[in-house]
Amino acid sequence: MPSRNISKSVIKRLPIYLRILDQLIRREVELISSRELSNESGFTAEQIRKDLAYFGAFGTRGAGYNTIYLREKLIKIIGLDSITDTIVFGAGNLGTALTRYNLTKNPYVNVVAAFDKNPQLIGKKIDSLEVLPIEKAPEVIREYGIKVCLITVPAMAAQEVADLAVKHGVKAILNFAPVKLSVPEEIHVHNADLTIELQSLIYYSSAEEERLARLDKEVEDNKSKSSKTFSYD
Amino acid sequence: MPSRNISKSVIKRLPIYLRILDQLIRREVELISSRELSNESGFTAEQIRKDLAYFGAFGTRGAGYNTIYLREKLIKIIGLDSITDTIVFGAGNLGTALTRYNLTKNPYVNVVAAFDKNPQLIGKKIDSLEVLPIEKAPEVIREYGIKVCLITVPAMAAQEVADLAVKHGVKAILNFAPVKLSVPEEIHVHNADLTIELQSLIYYSSAEEERLARLDKEVEDNKSKSSKTFSYD
DNA sequence: TAGATTGTTAATCGATTAACAATC
DNA sequence: TAGATTGTTAATCGATTAACAATC
């Protein structure tokens, strides 16, 4: 029996494998080797084989993986074999984008409601979905047994919304607000912080070497100018 | 001199430290220990000290880090000391959300243009920014010396847009399209794939143990039912 | 000086890569 | 059978954690 407690990095790769299989199946490819999967995904063939082996032996030695069979297994592993109902907090541009994307392009997920506090947004339609006031959330969470939600409200409001969601039974949060949410430890939070992605990209976009060399020089200069400029007075 | 070639994981944490410092400074906190930074960020104090030490000695033994000084250093390390001009490909909901967010909430970045192919979106205003046809992109990239761009176009169009951006001088891409972009190896791509985030969260949201046990059983059953159902005929 | 906290080196842990026997 | 590719074990690499000397 495969051992459990599989690392986060492995789990993050599974949906990528799934997407590639979806594409291959659409192209009517029936069999794929780990080497070819490597080309498509950018991960090494060894890593792909090892990742899959945590969950079972899905391939055929000498041949490769049957795309349909492996896809089916991945769907079950990730837990996508029944559609996941979810809700979106915040119906601004980001909330609207995510709601619409998941409604139309993500067959594994259904958005049952979007909530906002702003009276101007309440009643607005996102495709056929009407934006509801946040007060309705507890009812919807209970009614649909919502376990996963997305938070796209402003940073200031995010903790409050998270508390409400957790209180009524949500187990996993995809958080787009630029704050660290405090939640009980059994609750899973993934942060999709777009500012952080962008800033860390900027690090690489301009001549790293030069910039850091300049920094070193500054720190040097500071030191020699007597101890430290600031000290604590 | 601190050694270079600092790992991606370190770089991804720097913007988080920066954000916390911004908050502390707003609250007029002047001095902070690595232990307190740990509480705010969720990373260990040891890790924070080590991360910072890659770039220099910014703290004061016995006291901690001066918030203003450390913030200034982080800004220079990340490369945020001059505003980064950027462009957004795709003016749908996601593109609009990102454009608006960066224009209004991200002081380190300026969005100089948003592009779309859809004639219905061209001319649309995002705050004071007018959506331009994608054909104008080369001109804008050259004029502003754009090094960083965001891609929010549909999966099908993403590679084409990336090629265009790279061709005209873009060095770093924040890609929201669910595809693996092929780019020359000196170009940096960060994937912000929201579907993958959501799917890997779903893995954790429902009883993992049970699901995987059920899977094991299936695979067992399959094996005993003669070799494999599919084999390659 | 005593107390506190950094910066840095050493130890541990975990994840990736390499190698290869198993087997289709 | 020969060729190919998986699944798995061992080796390596890198990142995190622990420990502590330096020093404010």
Check residue B220 and give its pLDDT. Answer: 65
- Determine if strand D comes within 7 Å of the CB of B38: no
Instruction: Tell me what percent of the residues of chain B surpass a pLDDT of 70.
Output: 91
Check residue A5 and give its pLDDT. Answer: 79
**pLDDT of B40-68, one tens digit each?**
999 999 999 999 999 999 999 999 999 99
Instruction: Tell me what percent of the residues of chain A surpass a pLDDT of 90.
Output: 85
Quick check: B213 pLDDT over 90? no
Burial of B10 (0-12, 13-18, 19+ CB in 10 A): middle
Check residue B225 and give its pLDDT. Answer: 47
Set of chain B residues whose Cβ sits within 8 Å of the Cβ of A12? 196, 200
Check residue B226 and give its pLDDT. Answer: 42
CA A67 to the chain's CA centroid: 24
Residues at the strand C interface (Cβ < 7 Å): A 7-10, 43-44, 46-47, 49-50, 60-63; B 32-35, 45-46, 49-50, 52-53, 57-65, 227, 231
**pLDDT of B159-184, one tens digit each?**
999 999 999 999 999 999 999 999 99
What is the rounded CA–CA span in Å between residue A84 and residue A89?
16
Which of the two residues, B228 and A93, has the higher pLDDT score?
A: A93
| pLDDT averaged over every residue in chain B | 91
- From chain B residues 101-140, the ones with a CB under 8 A of any chain A CB are 101-102, 105-106, 108-109
Average pLDDT over residues A92-101: 96
Which of the two residues, B142 and A229, has the higher pLDDT score?
A: B142
Average pLDDT over residues A131-138: 98
**pLDDT of A67-90, one tens digit each?**
999 999 999 999 999 999 999 999
Dihedral (Cα; A78, A80, A86, A88), 10-degree rounding: 60
Q: Can you tell me which residue has the tokens 């930074």?
A: B37
**Residue B76 neighbours by CB under 8 Å, 6+ apart:** A211, A214, A215, A218
What is the band of B218 on the pLDDT scale with cuts at 50, 70, 90?
confident
- From chain A residues 47-66, the ones with a CB under 8 A of any chain B CB are 55-58, 60, 63, 66
Contact B38/A at CB under 8 A: no
Check residue B169 and give its pLDDT. Answer: 95
Contact A231/B at CB under 8 A: yes
Quick check: A161 pLDDT over 70? yes
Quick check: A231 pLDDT over 60? no
Check residue B230 and give its pLDDT. Answer: 41
Whole-model pTM over 0.85? yes
Which of the two residues, B224 and B74, has the higher pLDDT score?
A: B74
What is the rounded CA–CA span in Å between residue A216 and residue A220?
6
DSSP state at residue A225: S
Check residue A224 and give its pLDDT. Answer: 52
CB–CB of A212 and B77 under 8 A? yes
